[in-house]
Amino acid sequence: MLARIREHLSRARPLRKSGTAPGPPPYSASLPMLSKKMPPDRFERMKIVAVEPFILHVPVTGQEIADSMHRLTHWGVPGVILVTDTGLRGYGYSGTHAHLPTDRLITGFIEHTAAPLLLGEDPAEIDRLWQKIYRFPPAQWVGRSGITHLGLGAVDVALWDLKAKAAGVPLWKLLNAGAPAPALEAYNTDGGWLNLSRERIVANAKRFTQEEGFRGVKLKIGKPDPAEDLERVAAVRRAIGPDVKLMVDANGKWTLETALAWSPRLRELDVYWIEEPLWYDDIPAHAELAARSEVPVALGEQLYSYYNFRDFIAAGAVRFVQPDVTRLAGVTEWRQVADLAAQHGLPVAAHVGDMMQVHLHTSLAHPACAILEYIPWIRSCFTEPATVRAGTFVPPREPGAGTTLVPDALERYAQPLR
Protein backbone atom coordinates (compact mmCIF):
# COMPACT_ATOMS: atom_id res chain seq x y z
CA MET A 1 0.00 0.00 0.00
CA LEU A 2 2.66 2.45 1.09
CA ALA A 3 4.77 1.56 -1.92
CA ARG A 4 1.77 2.27 -4.17
CA ILE A 5 1.20 5.66 -2.58
CA ARG A 6 4.87 6.52 -2.91
CA GLU A 7 4.79 5.54 -6.54
CA HIS A 8 1.79 7.83 -7.12
CA LEU A 9 3.48 10.65 -5.30
CA SER A 10 6.65 10.33 -7.31
CA ARG A 11 4.62 10.41 -10.52
CA ALA A 12 2.65 13.43 -9.39
CA ARG A 13 3.22 16.68 -11.26
CA PRO A 14 5.82 18.84 -9.61
CA LEU A 15 4.09 21.61 -7.70
CA ARG A 16 5.09 25.19 -8.12
CA LYS A 17 7.00 26.59 -5.19
CA SER A 18 4.97 29.03 -3.16
CA GLY A 19 6.06 32.57 -3.74
CA THR A 20 6.25 32.24 -7.50
CA ALA A 21 3.49 33.63 -9.65
CA PRO A 22 0.72 31.12 -10.29
CA GLY A 23 1.30 29.49 -13.66
CA PRO A 24 -1.27 28.55 -16.27
CA PRO A 25 -3.99 26.09 -15.45
CA PRO A 26 -2.94 22.55 -16.35
CA TYR A 27 -4.97 22.44 -19.56
CA SER A 28 -4.74 25.95 -20.89
CA ALA A 29 -1.50 25.44 -22.78
CA SER A 30 -3.17 22.73 -24.84
CA LEU A 31 -6.54 24.36 -25.27
CA PRO A 32 -5.94 25.69 -28.79
CA MET A 33 -5.55 22.09 -29.88
CA LEU A 34 -8.93 21.21 -28.53
CA SER A 35 -10.93 21.45 -31.73
CA LYS A 36 -8.23 19.95 -33.93
CA LYS A 37 -6.38 17.01 -32.54
CA MET A 38 -7.69 15.99 -29.16
CA PRO A 39 -11.02 14.30 -28.66
CA PRO A 40 -13.24 16.81 -26.82
CA ASP A 41 -13.89 14.25 -24.12
CA ARG A 42 -10.25 14.47 -23.08
CA PHE A 43 -10.93 18.01 -21.92
CA GLU A 44 -14.50 17.85 -20.82
CA ARG A 45 -13.98 15.20 -18.21
CA MET A 46 -11.40 13.82 -15.91
CA LYS A 47 -11.88 10.30 -14.72
CA ILE A 48 -11.13 8.83 -11.32
CA VAL A 49 -9.01 5.75 -11.97
CA ALA A 50 -7.86 4.83 -8.47
CA VAL A 51 -8.86 5.51 -4.86
CA GLU A 52 -5.96 5.20 -2.43
CA PRO A 53 -6.72 5.49 1.29
CA PHE A 54 -4.05 6.33 3.84
CA ILE A 55 -3.73 6.89 7.59
CA LEU A 56 -1.15 9.17 9.20
CA HIS A 57 -0.48 9.54 12.92
CA VAL A 58 1.45 12.74 13.60
CA PRO A 59 2.80 13.73 17.04
CA VAL A 60 1.19 16.71 18.79
CA THR A 61 3.22 19.54 20.36
CA GLY A 62 5.02 18.26 23.46
CA GLN A 63 4.41 14.69 24.57
CA GLU A 64 0.68 14.95 25.06
CA ILE A 65 -2.18 17.43 25.12
CA ALA A 66 -5.50 17.31 26.92
CA ASP A 67 -8.80 19.09 27.00
CA SER A 68 -11.66 18.33 29.40
CA MET A 69 -12.74 15.27 27.40
CA HIS A 70 -9.72 14.00 25.50
CA ARG A 71 -6.07 13.24 25.95
CA LEU A 72 -3.89 12.55 22.94
CA THR A 73 -0.31 12.10 21.80
CA HIS A 74 -0.91 12.12 18.02
CA TRP A 75 -3.32 13.66 15.54
CA GLY A 76 -4.93 11.12 13.20
CA VAL A 77 -5.17 11.86 9.51
CA PRO A 78 -7.20 9.15 7.77
CA GLY A 79 -7.64 10.18 4.16
CA VAL A 80 -7.67 9.41 0.50
CA ILE A 81 -5.84 10.19 -2.72
CA LEU A 82 -8.12 10.27 -5.75
CA VAL A 83 -6.01 9.41 -8.79
CA THR A 84 -7.26 10.65 -12.17
CA ASP A 85 -6.48 9.79 -15.75
CA THR A 86 -5.02 13.29 -16.23
CA GLY A 87 -2.19 12.82 -13.76
CA LEU A 88 -3.81 15.17 -11.26
CA ARG A 89 -4.26 13.75 -7.77
CA GLY A 90 -6.78 14.97 -5.24
CA TYR A 91 -5.94 14.74 -1.53
CA GLY A 92 -8.53 14.77 1.23
CA TYR A 93 -8.59 13.65 4.83
CA SER A 94 -10.43 13.71 8.13
CA GLY A 95 -9.06 14.49 11.60
CA THR A 96 -9.07 12.08 14.55
CA HIS A 97 -7.39 11.29 17.81
CA ALA A 98 -5.15 8.73 16.14
CA HIS A 99 -6.93 5.61 17.32
CA LEU A 100 -5.99 3.12 14.63
CA PRO A 101 -9.02 0.79 14.86
CA THR A 102 -11.49 3.65 14.34
CA ASP A 103 -9.27 5.34 11.75
CA ARG A 104 -9.48 2.07 9.82
CA LEU A 105 -13.27 2.19 9.93
CA ILE A 106 -13.05 5.52 8.09
CA THR A 107 -10.57 4.31 5.48
CA GLY A 108 -12.51 1.04 5.24
CA PHE A 109 -15.63 3.02 4.33
CA ILE A 110 -13.64 4.94 1.74
CA GLU A 111 -12.05 1.83 0.28
CA HIS A 112 -15.01 -0.53 0.23
CA THR A 113 -18.07 1.72 -0.04
CA ALA A 114 -17.06 5.08 -1.54
CA ALA A 115 -14.43 3.83 -3.99
CA PRO A 116 -16.77 1.68 -6.10
CA LEU A 117 -19.11 4.68 -6.35
CA LEU A 118 -16.27 6.94 -7.49
CA LEU A 119 -14.25 4.88 -9.95
CA GLY A 120 -14.81 6.00 -13.54
CA GLU A 121 -16.62 9.15 -12.45
CA ASP A 122 -15.77 12.73 -13.36
CA PRO A 123 -14.51 14.39 -10.15
CA ALA A 124 -15.76 17.78 -11.36
CA GLU A 125 -19.33 16.71 -10.57
CA ILE A 126 -18.91 17.18 -6.85
CA ASP A 127 -22.51 17.68 -5.79
CA ARG A 128 -23.69 14.64 -7.71
CA LEU A 129 -20.92 12.45 -6.30
CA TRP A 130 -21.55 13.78 -2.78
CA GLN A 131 -25.22 12.82 -3.09
CA LYS A 132 -24.34 9.50 -4.68
CA ILE A 133 -22.32 8.50 -1.62
CA TYR A 134 -24.48 10.23 1.00
CA ARG A 135 -27.68 8.66 -0.31
CA PHE A 136 -26.24 5.24 -1.19
CA PRO A 137 -28.89 3.24 0.69
CA PRO A 138 -26.64 0.90 2.70
CA ALA A 139 -24.44 3.86 3.71
CA GLN A 140 -27.42 6.04 4.55
CA TRP A 141 -28.83 3.28 6.74
CA VAL A 142 -25.75 3.22 8.98
CA GLY A 143 -24.61 6.79 8.46
CA ARG A 144 -25.65 10.40 7.85
CA SER A 145 -23.15 11.24 10.61
CA GLY A 146 -20.13 9.66 12.24
CA ILE A 147 -17.74 7.31 10.47
CA THR A 148 -19.44 7.34 7.07
CA HIS A 149 -19.78 11.10 7.15
CA LEU A 150 -16.10 11.56 8.02
CA GLY A 151 -15.23 9.28 5.11
CA LEU A 152 -17.45 11.26 2.75
CA GLY A 153 -15.85 14.46 4.07
CA ALA A 154 -12.37 13.21 3.12
CA VAL A 155 -13.62 12.29 -0.36
CA ASP A 156 -15.32 15.66 -0.80
CA VAL A 157 -12.15 17.55 0.16
CA ALA A 158 -10.18 15.48 -2.37
CA LEU A 159 -12.77 16.34 -5.05
CA TRP A 160 -12.44 20.06 -4.27
CA ASP A 161 -8.67 19.72 -4.30
CA LEU A 162 -8.93 18.25 -7.81
CA LYS A 163 -11.33 20.93 -8.99
CA ALA A 164 -9.00 23.70 -7.88
CA LYS A 165 -5.94 21.95 -9.33
CA ALA A 166 -7.72 21.47 -12.65
CA ALA A 167 -8.53 25.20 -12.65
CA GLY A 168 -4.92 25.99 -11.71
CA VAL A 169 -5.87 28.10 -8.69
CA PRO A 170 -5.82 27.77 -4.90
CA LEU A 171 -9.23 26.67 -3.67
CA TRP A 172 -9.98 30.00 -1.96
CA LYS A 173 -9.77 31.71 -5.33
CA LEU A 174 -12.01 29.17 -6.97
CA LEU A 175 -14.60 29.58 -4.21
CA ASN A 176 -14.70 33.37 -4.15
CA ALA A 177 -14.27 33.80 -7.88
CA GLY A 178 -10.96 35.60 -7.59
CA ALA A 179 -11.82 38.44 -5.23
CA PRO A 180 -8.83 39.55 -3.14
CA ALA A 181 -8.42 37.51 0.02
CA PRO A 182 -9.42 39.47 3.11
CA ALA A 183 -7.18 39.47 6.16
CA LEU A 184 -7.89 36.36 8.21
CA GLU A 185 -6.80 36.68 11.83
CA ALA A 186 -5.23 33.69 13.60
CA TYR A 187 -5.80 32.76 17.23
CA ASN A 188 -3.54 30.19 18.86
CA THR A 189 -4.99 27.18 20.69
CA ASP A 190 -1.75 25.23 21.04
CA GLY A 191 -0.57 26.73 24.32
CA GLY A 192 -3.64 26.53 26.53
CA TRP A 193 -4.17 22.80 27.06
CA LEU A 194 -5.74 21.57 30.24
CA ASN A 195 -2.79 19.32 31.15
CA LEU A 196 -0.35 22.26 31.18
CA SER A 197 0.45 24.12 34.38
CA ARG A 198 -0.77 27.65 34.98
CA GLU A 199 2.80 28.92 34.61
CA ARG A 200 3.09 27.14 31.29
CA ILE A 201 -0.12 28.48 29.77
CA VAL A 202 0.82 31.98 30.90
CA ALA A 203 4.28 31.69 29.32
CA ASN A 204 2.82 30.27 26.10
CA ALA A 205 0.23 33.05 25.83
CA LYS A 206 2.92 35.68 26.36
CA ARG A 207 5.17 34.14 23.73
CA PHE A 208 2.36 33.85 21.17
CA THR A 209 1.18 37.43 21.62
CA GLN A 210 4.33 39.35 22.52
CA GLU A 211 6.89 37.54 20.34
CA GLU A 212 4.99 35.75 17.58
CA GLY A 213 2.35 38.33 16.71
CA PHE A 214 -0.85 36.45 17.55
CA ARG A 215 -3.73 38.67 18.63
CA GLY A 216 -5.80 35.88 20.16
CA VAL A 217 -5.34 32.78 22.31
CA LYS A 218 -7.67 30.03 23.49
CA LEU A 219 -7.55 28.25 26.85
CA LYS A 220 -9.07 24.92 27.71
CA ILE A 221 -11.31 24.87 30.78
CA GLY A 222 -13.13 22.06 32.58
CA LYS A 223 -10.94 21.31 35.60
CA PRO A 224 -12.76 19.43 38.39
CA ASP A 225 -13.06 22.75 40.24
CA PRO A 226 -14.16 25.63 37.96
CA ALA A 227 -12.50 28.06 40.39
CA GLU A 228 -9.16 26.70 39.16
CA ASP A 229 -10.21 27.35 35.56
CA LEU A 230 -11.02 30.93 36.45
CA GLU A 231 -7.67 31.43 38.14
CA ARG A 232 -5.91 30.19 35.02
CA VAL A 233 -7.96 32.42 32.75
CA ALA A 234 -7.36 35.42 35.02
CA ALA A 235 -3.61 34.76 35.10
CA VAL A 236 -3.44 34.66 31.31
CA ARG A 237 -5.57 37.80 30.98
CA ARG A 238 -3.19 39.64 33.33
CA ALA A 239 -0.22 38.47 31.29
CA ILE A 240 -1.53 39.38 27.83
CA GLY A 241 -3.31 42.61 28.69
CA PRO A 242 -6.70 43.86 27.55
CA ASP A 243 -6.10 44.05 23.79
CA VAL A 244 -5.70 40.34 23.00
CA LYS A 245 -8.69 38.12 22.26
CA LEU A 246 -9.05 35.42 24.91
CA MET A 247 -11.35 32.47 24.27
CA VAL A 248 -12.19 29.55 26.56
CA ASP A 249 -13.21 26.03 25.51
CA ALA A 250 -14.93 23.54 27.84
CA ASN A 251 -15.27 20.80 25.18
CA GLY A 252 -18.77 19.99 26.42
CA LYS A 253 -17.85 19.46 30.07
CA TRP A 254 -19.88 22.00 32.02
CA THR A 255 -23.50 21.81 33.12
CA LEU A 256 -25.91 24.66 32.52
CA GLU A 257 -25.75 25.51 36.22
CA THR A 258 -21.96 25.70 36.20
CA ALA A 259 -21.93 27.80 33.06
CA LEU A 260 -24.54 30.23 34.38
CA ALA A 261 -22.72 30.52 37.70
CA TRP A 262 -19.28 31.23 36.21
CA SER A 263 -20.02 33.18 33.07
CA PRO A 264 -20.22 36.58 34.88
CA ARG A 265 -16.60 36.03 35.97
CA LEU A 266 -15.62 35.13 32.41
CA ARG A 267 -17.36 38.30 31.27
CA GLU A 268 -15.28 40.35 33.73
CA LEU A 269 -12.16 38.87 32.17
CA ASP A 270 -13.45 39.97 28.77
CA VAL A 271 -13.61 36.43 27.40
CA TYR A 272 -14.37 36.65 23.67
CA TRP A 273 -16.40 33.43 23.53
CA ILE A 274 -17.11 30.32 25.56
CA GLU A 275 -16.79 27.27 23.34
CA GLU A 276 -18.76 24.05 23.72
CA PRO A 277 -19.81 24.96 27.25
CA LEU A 278 -22.36 22.12 27.53
CA TRP A 279 -22.99 18.65 26.21
CA TYR A 280 -22.87 18.83 22.42
CA ASP A 281 -26.45 17.90 21.55
CA ASP A 282 -28.36 19.91 24.14
CA ILE A 283 -29.97 22.68 22.12
CA PRO A 284 -32.37 24.06 24.78
CA ALA A 285 -29.60 24.30 27.39
CA HIS A 286 -27.33 26.19 25.00
CA ALA A 287 -30.23 28.45 24.05
CA GLU A 288 -30.86 29.26 27.70
CA LEU A 289 -27.19 29.94 28.35
CA ALA A 290 -26.96 32.13 25.25
CA ALA A 291 -29.98 34.11 26.42
CA ARG A 292 -28.78 34.58 29.99
CA SER A 293 -25.01 34.92 29.63
CA GLU A 294 -23.13 37.91 28.28
CA VAL A 295 -20.31 35.71 27.00
CA PRO A 296 -21.08 34.63 23.42
CA VAL A 297 -21.45 30.88 22.86
CA ALA A 298 -19.30 29.18 20.19
CA LEU A 299 -19.83 25.61 18.99
CA GLY A 300 -19.94 23.30 16.01
CA GLU A 301 -16.92 21.01 16.09
CA GLN A 302 -19.14 18.12 17.24
CA LEU A 303 -22.01 18.77 14.83
CA TYR A 304 -22.12 16.44 11.84
CA SER A 305 -24.71 17.93 9.57
CA TYR A 306 -26.20 21.08 8.14
CA TYR A 307 -29.43 20.17 9.93
CA ASN A 308 -27.73 20.16 13.36
CA PHE A 309 -26.47 23.67 12.70
CA ARG A 310 -29.84 24.75 11.37
CA ASP A 311 -31.51 23.69 14.61
CA PHE A 312 -28.93 25.37 16.88
CA ILE A 313 -29.15 28.58 14.87
CA ALA A 314 -32.95 28.54 14.79
CA ALA A 315 -33.01 28.15 18.58
CA GLY A 316 -30.64 31.08 19.12
CA ALA A 317 -28.26 28.63 20.82
CA VAL A 318 -25.01 29.72 19.13
CA ARG A 319 -23.27 32.97 18.27
CA PHE A 320 -19.87 31.97 16.82
CA VAL A 321 -20.58 29.16 14.36
CA GLN A 322 -17.74 26.63 14.10
CA PRO A 323 -18.26 24.24 11.20
CA ASP A 324 -15.50 21.76 10.35
CA VAL A 325 -14.96 20.10 6.96
CA THR A 326 -13.73 16.96 8.69
CA ARG A 327 -16.89 16.55 10.76
CA LEU A 328 -19.42 17.82 8.29
CA ALA A 329 -18.97 16.04 4.98
CA GLY A 330 -16.35 18.29 3.49
CA VAL A 331 -16.20 21.67 1.81
CA THR A 332 -19.63 21.10 0.24
CA GLU A 333 -21.54 20.93 3.51
CA TRP A 334 -19.24 23.44 5.27
CA ARG A 335 -20.23 26.11 2.79
CA GLN A 336 -23.91 25.39 3.29
CA VAL A 337 -23.46 25.95 7.03
CA ALA A 338 -21.34 29.09 6.56
CA ASP A 339 -23.97 30.52 4.20
CA LEU A 340 -26.72 29.76 6.71
CA ALA A 341 -24.77 31.47 9.50
CA ALA A 342 -24.18 34.49 7.28
CA GLN A 343 -27.88 34.69 6.48
CA HIS A 344 -28.51 34.97 10.23
CA GLY A 345 -25.78 37.54 10.74
CA LEU A 346 -23.63 35.13 12.75
CA PRO A 347 -19.83 35.07 12.51
CA VAL A 348 -18.16 31.85 11.35
CA ALA A 349 -14.92 30.74 13.03
CA ALA A 350 -14.11 27.30 11.64
CA HIS A 351 -12.90 24.53 13.91
CA VAL A 352 -9.75 23.04 12.39
CA GLY A 353 -9.96 19.26 12.47
CA ASP A 354 -7.93 19.48 9.25
CA MET A 355 -5.35 21.50 11.19
CA MET A 356 -6.03 24.59 9.06
CA GLN A 357 -5.09 23.40 5.58
CA VAL A 358 -8.58 23.36 4.03
CA HIS A 359 -10.24 25.82 6.40
CA LEU A 360 -7.71 28.42 5.44
CA HIS A 361 -9.16 28.27 1.92
CA THR A 362 -12.83 28.06 2.86
CA SER A 363 -12.43 30.89 5.40
CA LEU A 364 -10.54 33.20 3.03
CA ALA A 365 -13.37 32.70 0.57
CA HIS A 366 -16.30 33.33 2.91
CA PRO A 367 -17.52 36.76 4.02
CA ALA A 368 -18.69 35.46 7.43
CA CYS A 369 -15.11 34.46 8.39
CA ALA A 370 -12.73 36.90 10.06
CA ILE A 371 -10.80 34.58 12.37
CA LEU A 372 -9.39 31.04 12.29
CA GLU A 373 -7.92 28.70 14.87
CA TYR A 374 -4.18 27.90 14.73
CA ILE A 375 -2.78 24.48 15.73
CA PRO A 376 0.46 23.57 13.93
CA TRP A 377 0.69 19.81 14.56
CA ILE A 378 0.61 18.46 11.00
CA ARG A 379 2.04 21.40 9.05
CA SER A 380 5.16 19.44 8.05
CA CYS A 381 2.99 16.99 6.08
CA PHE A 382 2.06 19.43 3.32
CA THR A 383 3.67 20.99 0.27
CA GLU A 384 2.29 24.38 1.35
CA PRO A 385 1.70 24.43 5.12
CA ALA A 386 -0.75 26.99 6.54
CA THR A 387 1.33 29.93 7.71
CA VAL A 388 0.71 32.90 10.01
CA ARG A 389 2.61 36.14 9.71
CA ALA A 390 2.06 39.04 12.12
CA GLY A 391 -1.08 37.38 13.43
CA THR A 392 -2.67 36.89 10.01
CA PHE A 393 -2.85 33.82 7.76
CA VAL A 394 -0.89 34.03 4.53
CA PRO A 395 -3.18 33.30 1.53
CA PRO A 396 -1.98 30.07 -0.13
CA ARG A 397 -0.72 30.20 -3.72
CA GLU A 398 -0.50 26.58 -4.84
CA PRO A 399 -3.39 25.20 -6.90
CA GLY A 400 -5.65 22.94 -4.85
CA ALA A 401 -7.15 22.77 -1.37
CA GLY A 402 -3.85 22.86 0.54
CA THR A 403 -4.03 19.12 1.14
CA THR A 404 -1.19 17.81 -1.06
CA LEU A 405 1.15 15.68 1.05
CA VAL A 406 4.90 15.65 0.82
CA PRO A 407 6.19 12.08 0.23
CA ASP A 408 8.06 12.32 3.50
CA ALA A 409 4.76 12.54 5.41
CA LEU A 410 3.80 9.06 4.25
CA GLU A 411 7.24 7.69 4.97
CA ARG A 412 7.29 9.08 8.50
CA TYR A 413 3.72 8.83 9.68
CA ALA A 414 1.77 6.25 7.64
CA GLN A 415 0.02 3.47 9.54
CA PRO A 416 -0.95 0.11 8.08
CA LEU A 417 -4.49 0.12 6.69
CA ARG A 418 -5.12 -3.38 7.97
**Cα–Cα distance, 267 to 260 (Å, whole number):** 11
Among 249, 354, 384, 398, binds Mg ion (CB under 5 A): 249
Residues in touch with ligand 0YR (CB under 6 A): 67, 70, 72, 189, 249, 251, 301, 351
Task: Tell me the HSE value of 203 on the side-chain side, using a 13 A CA sphere.
Answer: 5
Q: Does 373 bind Mg ion (CB under 5 A)?
A: no
- Catalytic site includes residue 220: yes
Q: Are 411 and 102 in contact (CB under 8 A)?
A: no
Q: Which does 253 bind (CB under 5 to 8 A by kind): ligand 0YR, Mg ion, none?
A: none
Report DSSP state, residue 179: P
Distances (CA, A) of 97 to 72, 244, 299, 403: 6, 30, 19, 19
* Residue 67 touches which of ligand 0YR, Mg ion, none (Cβ within 5-8 Å per kind): ligand 0YR
For Mg ion, which is the closer residue by CB, 218 or 366?
218
**Residues 244 and 209: beta-carbon distance below 8 Å:** yes
Smallest gap from residue 273 Cβ to ligand 0YR (A): 11
CA Rg value for the chain: 21
> Could you say which of Mg ion, ligand 0YR, none residue 189 binds, taking C-beta under 5 to 8 angstroms by partner kind?
ligand 0YR
Work out what residue 324 binds among ligand 0YR, Mg ion, none; the CB cut-off runs from 5 to 8 Å by kind.
none
Nearer to Mg ion, 348 or 409 (CB): 348
How would you write 289-311 as a 3-class SS string? HHHHCCCCEEECCCCCCHHHHHH
- Total site size for Mg ion, rule CB under 5 A: 2
Beta strands in 34-130 (DSSP E): 48-59, 65-66, 71-72, 74-84, 89-93
Per the residue annotation, which of 149, 163, 351, 366 is the catalytic one? 351
Tell me the closest approach of the beta carbon of residue 13 to ligand 0YR, in angstroms.
Answer: 33
Residue among 218, 220, 253, 359 flagged as catalytic: 220
Residues belonging to the active site? 220, 351
Binding site for Mg ion (CB under 5 A): 249, 275
